[in-house]
Amino acid sequence: MQLDFTDKRVLVTGGTRGIGRAIVEAFLAAGARVAVNGSTEETTGKAVAELDGGDRVVAAPGSVGPEAACKSIVDAAVGGLGGLDVLVNNAGVGGGGPVEKTEEADWDRVVDINLKGVFFMTKHAVPHLRESRGNIINVSSVLGLVGSPYGSPYSASKAGVISLTRSHALEFGRAKIRVNAVVPGGVDTDMLRGLALSFADTVEAGYEILAKDAKAQRRIADASEIAGPVLYLASDLASFVTGATHVVDGGEVID
């Protein structure tokens, strides 16, 4: 079933590659107009050119985290699209290591982008979403549910995203703004390829090790398999779904 987002206005942070890029492409295929956010003007402009969506694609560059940058990203998206119906807080970075070797700057980098950025993107998008009765989808991680040795800053930031999702669903419910989280397991992205190479000599061999965590399906997901649940949550099919933690992990968190 093809969902119809014709003329809906969507902002996707971290939309130049990986899961974010797949989400952008899925919204475009469903007829939406999309503001693509990347951390720099160069990466954002390159992605916009590659997408070749004409006036249905606009650039909203900036590194999420600092409040001023988040406001600038929202302003660029709203200015280019004429409003906002959907915010997808997808931008994120990995980071970890033994606690005793983690520097304050390492912690700040991960938490600022993965958690602080979600909060301030939401803050500045909400006035526009009130007008459209739009919705927000936050991209978390199964590591925010189960934790991770040597990855506590990342896991903590992603657990925080789940908590923000629930809190914001309660806060903005009366404004008819739905807020949900998608919680991916292992997905074929640059970040996971790097992790795979820390376990084995090739990405494929590393993925074989990592896929054991996906207890039911025993494989790594394609980014498009995360985009589908995002579109569902953004659609009218999910009109009574808010504050939900939508796990898409191939069975990783099954006990």
No. of helices (H) and no. of strands (E), the chain: 10, 7
- Concerning whether 207 is annotated as a catalytic residue, the answer is no
- Catalytic-role residue among 150, 154, 207, 232: 154
- Here the tokens at position 147 are 């934790």
Strand order of the β-sheet with 135-139 is: 57-59, 33-36, 9-12, 86-89, 135-139, 178-184, 245-248
Place of tokens 């796990």: 247
Tell which residue, 69, 48, 47, has the closest CA to residue 58: 48
- Here the tokens at position 128 are 């526009």
SS3 29: helix
**Is residue 179 a contact partner of residue 136, using CB atoms and an 8 Å limit?**
yes
SS3 54: helix
Residues with active-site annotation: 154
